[in-house]
């Protein structure tokens, strides 16, 4: 006799359907994506408590709007990233806090594929160049290189078409290259 029944993997669609049917099922979405959204937000703010506050707001917003969510455009993480970006922007506007950019090893390696550099000084130049970007430009770089999202996911998170996301991202990369060469 099997003591534990093997659980079938739950798809995103099923998760959303259940959450739309009953509020208590939203907990599964929260459990699954909390860590990812928390870290995404922590990379943008100074402290963990700030990240926690914005993460909570993000999930409350998602919870309130889960019934409007459809699979026509967005997958759950992209949708949550989109809400998280809006909530963090709102937080910066309200609290007048400093925007943080966190460059990690994986993100730097990803960026090296587009902007080849090998010296430590050039990394500093890249860090400086990132500070001149607008909030929107920074979002493209963070989602694509630091979060490792596909262009489709980036486009979903930014609410634009995939080709548009590609063009915009490469424009930002060119801008960074230009700034680094000039520095």
Partner 1 sequence: MTKKVYINRELPNKQQVAKYKSFNKVFGAYQKTKQSRASYKNRKYLLGVLLVLIVAALILWDEFGNKETDSEKNKKIESISSKEKYKKNLSTGNYVYYIYKDCKT
Give me the residues that bind partner 1 (CB under 8 A), please: 23, 26-27, 30-31, 34-35, 38-39, 42-43, 46, 48, 51-52, 55-57, 59-60, 63-64, 92, 98-105, 108, 123, 127-128, 130-131, 135
- The CB-of-151 to partner 1 minimum distance in angstroms stands at 25
- The CB-of-76 to partner 1 minimum distance in angstroms stands at 15
> Who contacts 160 (Cβ-Cβ below 8 Å, separation ≥6)?
168
- The CB-of-105 to partner 1 minimum distance in angstroms stands at 6
The full 3-state SS of 164-182, as one line of letters, equals: HHHHHHHHHHHHHHHHHHH
Rank residues 61 and 166 by Cβ distance to partner 1 and give the closer one.
61
- The CB-of-98 to partner 1 minimum distance in angstroms stands at 5
Rank residues 40 and 151 by Cβ distance to partner 1 and give the closer one.
40
CA atoms within 13 A on the CB side of 78: 23
* Residues 41, 12, 160, 172, Cα dihedral to 10°: 40
Rank residues 66 and 155 by Cβ distance to partner 1 and give the closer one.
66
Rank residues 13 and 48 by Cβ distance to partner 1 and give the closer one.
48
Is the Cβ–Cβ distance between 115 and 180 less than 8 Å?
Answer: yes
Is the Cβ–Cβ distance between 114 and 152 less than 8 Å?
Answer: no
């Amino acid at each position: 006799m099997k003591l534990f029944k093997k659980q079938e993997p739950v798809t995103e669609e099923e998760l959303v359907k259940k959450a739309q049917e009953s509020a208590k099922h939203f907990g599964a979405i929260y459990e699954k994506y909390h860590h990812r959204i928390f870290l995404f937000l922590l990379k943008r703010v100074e402290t963990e408590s700030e990240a926690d506050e914005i993460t909570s707001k993000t999930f409350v917003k998602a919870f309130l709007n889960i019934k409007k969510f459809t699979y026509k455009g967005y997958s759950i993480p992209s949708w949550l990233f989109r809400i998280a970006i809006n909530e963090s922007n709102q937080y910066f506007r309200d609290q007048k806090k400093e925007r943080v950019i966190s460059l990690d090893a994986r993100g730097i390696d990803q960026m090296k594929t587009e902007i080849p550099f090998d010296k430590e000084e050039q990394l500093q130049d890249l860090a400086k160049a990132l500070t001149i970007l607008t909030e929107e430009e920074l979002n493209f770089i963070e989602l694509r290189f630091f979060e490792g999202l596909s262009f489709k996911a980036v486009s979903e998170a930014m609410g634009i078409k995939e080709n548009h996301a590609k063009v915009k991202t490469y424009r930002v990369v060119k801008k960074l290259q230009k700034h680094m060469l000039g520095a």
